[in-house]
Structure 1
Amino acid sequence: MLPKILKILYPTALGAGAPHVFRYALSLAREYGGELHVVHACEPLSPFGQSLVELHLSHEDSEKMHAEAREKVRAQLDRQLRDLIDTEIGRAGGDHNLVASLRVLEGQPADIILQQANDVGADLIVMGKHRHTALGETLIGHTANRVSHHSNIPVMLVPIPEGFGE
């Protein structure tokens, strides 16, 4: 029996190649009658960064400032994700109902992606690979590498064309 690809997780860092990778995820969701789950992971402030802030502010003021900043960033990223989705679905003449969920979460990107894949019961993860060495060799990015090695479901790595979105 052929596998069913009904739930597709599309994690994005919202880089220049995001529209290119989203088109693959959208195409698969449309072709298989599936749904897309979109996620963006924000890395938390490092302990070093936190300690630098606390040199100048009290712990309470620092926490308050970071909570406010996190909410602003989360709202801005949510808006950017929605703009990406609206633009690309509009170009493809698609259906907004293909996007079942959109989340902006804080944590290590690979961990967030793997957890979200599990939480939504994803059948496939579609993400970009886009790192190039000085010699022009393509490398899988750190997050894509971790996800592809630790995922229990298939991971489709979409290469970003040279110069795309620049």
Structure 2
Amino acid sequence: MVPHIKHILYATDLSDGARRAMGYAVALANAMSASLTVVHVIKETSPNAELLIQAFLGYSSKEEVKQKSRAQITEEIKERLGQMCGELGCQLPDCRFSLADVIVEFGRPRETLLNYVETGNYDCLVMGRQDYGFIESAITGLSSKNLLRHSPVPVFLVPMPPGTESVPVAEKQE
């Protein structure tokens, strides 16, 4: 039986490796005339960081900070990811895929991605491979093996070219 891929979930952490993986997700979606949903999960901020932001911006509550910053961050990321997907689609000779949705969530990346693949109507997951060290993988639980072990759909891991490093945008700015 040859599987028919109709809906692809592409996960991004906004790193260079994720951008490379997006090229593969777009190419696969185009080849299969599939729809593509893009998801980005933002790790929750620490309570101390929220208090500092609250005080600095003069908001009355942490919830007000969360709602305003989440809405702004979400819209900016959605807009940029939509643009990136459009740019990659324009590079194709025939653009036969559709961008179904761009989702930006706050939470734990691994759990959120697993929730999407378990509850959504996706035929596969495409993402860049992150080669975290042993200790970081044990602490964060973000290892590709862990995601592969629990995903009910096929997972396509796109490696970085040899000699390059994939660092999420948020970590580059720190």
TM over 0.5: yes
Q: How far 1:144 sits from its partner (Å)?
A: 3.1
Q: Which runs of 5+ in 1 are unaligned?
A: 134-140
Give 1:74-93 correspondences, 5 Å limit: 74-93=74-93
Contact 2:35–2:100, Cα closer than 8 Å, also in 1? yes
State the one-letter code of the partner of 1:3.
Answer: P
Deviations 1:97-135 (A, max 9, x none): 5211111111111112122223331111111114376xx
Q: How far 1:15 sits from its partner (Å)?
A: 0.8
* Cα distance in 2, alignment partners of residues 17 and 106 from structure 1: 21
Q: CA RMSD in A?
A: 2.9
Q: How far 1:16 sits from its partner (Å)?
A: 1.3
Give 1:1-166 correspondences, 5 Å limit: 1-50=1-50, 60-95=60-95, 97-131=97-131, 142=142, 144-161=144-161, 162-163=163-164
State the one-letter code of the partner of 1:98.
Answer: S
Decide which moves more: 13-22 or 41-50: 41-50
Deviations 1:59-90 (A, max 9, x none): 94222122211111111111221121121111
Contact 2:36–2:101, Cα closer than 8 Å, also in 1? yes
- From the superposition, tell whether residues 127 and 51 of structure 1 become closer, same or farther in structure 2 (CA, over 3 Å): same
State the one-letter code of the partner of 1:78.
Answer: K
* Cα distance in 1, alignment partners of residues 104 and 151 from structure 2: 20
Aligned-residue sequence identity (percent) comes to: 27
Contact 2:31–2:96, Cα closer than 8 Å, also in 1? no
State the one-letter code of the partner of 1:163.
Answer: T
Contact 2:40–2:103, Cα closer than 8 Å, also in 1? yes
- From the superposition, tell whether residues 72 and 41 of structure 1 become closer, same or farther in structure 2 (CA, over 3 Å): same
Who is 1:138 aligned against? none
- From the superposition, tell whether residues 54 and 68 of structure 1 become closer, same or farther in structure 2 (CA, over 3 Å): closer
Q: How many residues align?
A: 159
Q: Which runs of 5+ in 2 are unaligned?
A: 134-140, 168-174
Contact 1:127–1:144, Cα closer than 8 Å, also in 2? no
* Cα distance in 1, alignment partners of residues 124 and 150 from structure 2: 13
- From the superposition, tell whether residues 76 and 96 of structure 1 become closer, same or farther in structure 2 (CA, over 3 Å): farther
* Cα distance in 2, alignment partners of residues 61 and 165 from structure 1: 36
The alignment's TM-score, normalised by the length of structure 1, stands at: 0.79
